[in-house]
Amino acid sequence: HDVKCEKNKTCFSKCALIKILKVWQVLPLGLCISAAPLPAGSCLSDNDPLVQPDGFLSAISRQALLSALKDVSLVFHCASPAPSSDDRLLFERVNIRGTQTVIQACLDAGVQKLVLTSSASVVFEGTDVKNGKEDLPYAKKPIDYYTQTKIEQEKLVLEACNKPKGFLTVAIRPHGIFGPRDPQLVPTLVDAARQGKMKFIIGDGTNLVDFTYVENVVHGHILAAEHLRADSPICGKPYHITNDEPIRFWDFMSEVLVGLGYPAPRFHLPYTLVYGLALLLLLLTWILRPVMSFKPTFTPMRVALAGTYHYYSCEHAKEHLGYKPVVSLKEGIARTVASYPHLRRGA
């Protein structure tokens, strides 16, 4: 993934190249791509745990990053374990200690700009958020390890912004990222449908939420990088990036399922009942962890995401970054569904 260039190199971690930032969108900016290196002597396939977001940043050292950051002016930090993980230590290694390593390496290498992929979940506590703005306080009672450590990660990056030293930072907060071939949302949804678990709607089904097509997330990152200057109001600030088209959560799920040939959910279950059962299952997993391990399908976080309002204002991103979604929600869903022919019903 190295492209030789005398200036304007941009350093991506492996997961950034795979999951979020698309090379074809970055190269027109005149930037070259330099993937952060694997530990010396490594020869790994893309399926090896070390090159996944969790293993990669857990294993890499500050010294290894320094060699990748030589002559680099801009870094996109996108690494994080999957939100569905329940491994607290892994989240701390990657999102907190890994981020500390990235920041220190950037400072030592003289990097000028750091753009973080954060999450709108940092202000979500499992209760309704309607048109939430960036001035909402961080969640005081984070609903899972992902949210807890993403809060700490964002604080580290934004507090590291130092104009006198010439190190500028900004955080992009996407929400509900989806897109072609993503290994999380659609495969999990289809797996649940095949097991007969997608017949039910949690709550009354009217709750509006934000989903964000991956190309719009990429667009938001690029705009942030372009606007990150010492005289810009975005320095040390977070920005919500979504499709700016709130949709009923279960309407979105139904469109994906029906597009792949599965029936849409029809039967309603009380939100408080399902949330209570999720809490009970979580307690059981903690109690039984010494003797057995199992992952419940519905965690408190998943139930909260399915049954509450959580959509966010992009007004600050529009004002300060000139942000406007480049792919509509309808088109994004169509592209996503088309990318999973192997997951269609009967395939």
Known catalytic residues are 146
Give me the DSSP letters along 79-126: ----TT---HHHHIIIIIIIHHHHHHHHHHHT--EEEEE--GGGG--S
Give me the DSSP letters along 234-291: TTT-EEEE--S--EEHHHHHHHHHHHTTPPPP-EEE-HHHHHHHHHHHHHHHHHHTTT
Distance CA 49, CA 54 (A): 8
Distance CA 298, CA 171 (A): 29
Token output for 237: 């600030």
Distance CA 46, CA 74 (A): 24
- Asked if residue 12 lies in contact with residue 41, where contact means CB atoms within 8 angstroms, the answer is no
Place of tokens 């005081």: 140
Three-class DSSP category at 205: coil
Distance CA 66, CA 339 (A): 37
